[in-house]
Structure 1
């Protein structure tokens, strides 16, 4: 038992057994747009200079969404794979990104 000001307090039991919703959803392979400018924001008042071989993270790229996962505080994150470029070099990365930087790719077929 825990005592606070000489008073015996009951133990804290998290969510008190509330029903929990599913936290992970597989979605196959869905095309999404990823706003890298929002995912990797620039520092305000930065005085850096342009470099042609630097990471290109100030654009929207197409990627593949394979799952959604809920954070412990109720925010959704998508597991995405996309390509980051730097000059002529490119690399595929896969990681969890906040849902608010993702948008579905519009189907242009009829």
Structure 2
């Protein structure tokens, strides 16, 4: 999942290494797809946002389809 597509920013203000990384690419678990009233597909995804050396913060939310792509690090599910 591309966090930079989920949370777009105009430009960085400064670099803070121990803060939340809201622009990286992270693995996620897609729970379901749903169609919006505007005809766009969104996925309900569980993922972690990294926070420096402190691990990450677990998040579950709806994400527009253009921020999602199939994972290559896990086997396909049937």
TM-score normalised per structure 1: 0.60
RMSD, aligned CA: 1.8
Task: Give distance in 1, aligned partners of 2:62 and 2:43.
Answer: 5
> Which of the pair has the greater relative contact order for Cα pairs under 8 Å at 6+ separation?
2
* Corresponding pairs, count: 74
Task: Give distance in 2, aligned partners of 1:106 and 1:52.
Answer: 27
Task: Give distance in 1, aligned partners of 2:33 and 2:15.
Answer: 35
> Greater strand percent: which structure?
1
Q: Which residue of 2 aligns with 1:38?
A: 5
Q: CA 1:52–1:65 in structure 2 vs 1: closer, same or farther (change >3 Å)?
A: same
Regions of 4+ moved over 3 Å: none
Q: CA 1:95–1:54 in structure 2 vs 1: closer, same or farther (change >3 Å)?
A: same
> Greater helix percent: which structure?
2
Q: Which residue of 1 aligns with 2:33?
A: 68
Report the alpha carbon displacement of residue 106 of structure 1 after superposing the two structures with TM.
Answer: 2.5
Q: CA 1:96–1:108 in structure 2 vs 1: closer, same or farther (change >3 Å)?
A: closer
Segments of structure 2 that go 5 or more residues without pairing to the other structure are: none
Larger radius of gyration: 1
TM-score normalised per structure 2: 0.83
Task: Give distance in 1, aligned partners of 2:70 and 2:57.
Answer: 22
